[in-house]
């Protein structure tokens, strides 16, 4: 998925100006993330680090009553995302803001927050500064993500993220410190015989009875069912 544009069933992503291109991670998260209480007249969703804008567009497609705020600290990314939003049928329901989540202020709380966060903690940074921002936690640590998500999420809301399994315990620990409770977990495998390389996590601000646990193999029937509303066959 490294082309300059990628066509989905109801929208197209142009990504020539974005450091991080459309990938399977974002597609799976956008299809998996939930909005508790989705049947109310209007719901508010926050997309942290929107990049190309794919998560916002997927949530807009899934939830017709959603208003979405998409933020990113990279000026080229937020410009590209806005172009993708403006060229879609969901333009009137998605707003953008060029800022760090640490500086973001809102007049209301959000019913759902989605994020495909930077995750390289100690690895070498690349020469492309935009790609470094998108991939490394130097601009958004796990602690900052969790504390600001807690600040902006409704009491009954849900935070959904996707990260490499290597960082699963680290981000769960930070979430607990910030007052979150793990609600759902889904491991992602490339093949049935390999260990999971990615994991999707959903957190709530209220205690949950039983943590929902699942596993998806890329290319499987379950994967196709999850992403089928988006991919063009």
Q: Residue 65 belongs to a domain with what CATH number?
A: 3.40.50.150
Q: What is the DSSP string of 59-91?
A: HHHH-TTEEEEEEES-HHHHHHHHHHHHTSTTG
In a domain, 66, yes or no: yes
Which pTM was predicted? 0.90
**Nearest Cα residue to 35 out of 49, 54, 55:** 55
In a domain, 1, yes or no: no
Residues 6+ apart with CB under 8 A from 170: 142
On whether residue 2 sits in a domain, the answer given is no
Which residue is listed with tokens 């066509």? 7
pLDDT digits (tens, 9 = 90+) for 27-43: 999 999 999 976 678 99
- Please state the φ and ψ torsions of residue 87, each to the nearest 5 degrees: -90, 5
Summarize pLDDT for 13-28 with one digit per residue, the tens: 998 878 778 889 999 9
With respect to residue 4, please indicate whether it lies within any of the assigned structural domains.
no
For residue 11, being part of any structural domain is answered with no
Residue with structure tokens 């690349």? 126
In a domain, 161, yes or no: yes
Instruction: Count the domains in the chain.
Output: 1
Tens of pLDDT, residue by residue, the chain (233 residues): 446 788 999 999 998 878 778 889 999 999 999 999 766 789 999 999 999 999 999 999 999 999 999 999 999 999 999 999 999 999 999 999 999 999 999 999 999 999 999 874 544 444 544 444 444 345 789 999 999 999 999 999 999 999 999 999 999 999 999 999 999 999 999 999 999 999 999 999 999 999 999 999 999 999 999 999 998 76
E strands present in the chain: 5-7, 12-14, 43-48, 66-72, 94-98, 110-115, 153-164, 181-189, 198-204, 212-217
How big is the chain, counted in residues? 233
Tell me whether residue 9 is in a domain.
no
Whether residue 12 is contained in a domain is answered as no
Q: Kind of pairing, strands 181-189 and 212-217? A: parallel
């Amino acid at each position: 998925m490294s082309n300059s544009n990628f066509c989905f069933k109801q929208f197209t992503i142009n990504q020539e100006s974005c450091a991080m291109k459309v990938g399977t991670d974002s597609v799976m998260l956008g299809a998996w993330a939930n909005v508790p209480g989705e049947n109310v007249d209007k719901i508010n969703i926050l997309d942290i680090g929107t990049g190309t804008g794919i998560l916002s567009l997927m949530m807009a497609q899934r939830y017709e009553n959603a208003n979405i705020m998409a933020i990113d600290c990279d000026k080229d990314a937020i410009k590209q995302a806005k172009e993708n939003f403006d060229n879609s049928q969901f333009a009137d329901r998605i707003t953008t803001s060029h800022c760090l989540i640490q500086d973001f202020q809102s007049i209301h709380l959000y019913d759902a927050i989605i994020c495909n966060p930077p995750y390289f903690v100690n690895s070498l940074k690349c020469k492309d500064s935009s790609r470094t921002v998108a991939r490394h936690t130097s601009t958004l640590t796990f602690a900052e993500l969790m504390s600001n998500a807690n600040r902006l999420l409704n009491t009954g809301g849900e935070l959904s993220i996707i990260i490499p399994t290597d960082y699963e315990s680290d981000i769960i620990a930070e979430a607990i410190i910030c007052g979150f409770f793990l609600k759902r977990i889904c491991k992602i495998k490339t093949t049935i015989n390999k260990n999971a390389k990615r994991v999707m996590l959903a957190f709530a601000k209220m205690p949950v009875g039983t943590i929902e646990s699942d596993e998806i193999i890329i290319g499987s029937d379950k994967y196709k069912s999850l992403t089928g509303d988006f991919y063009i066959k």
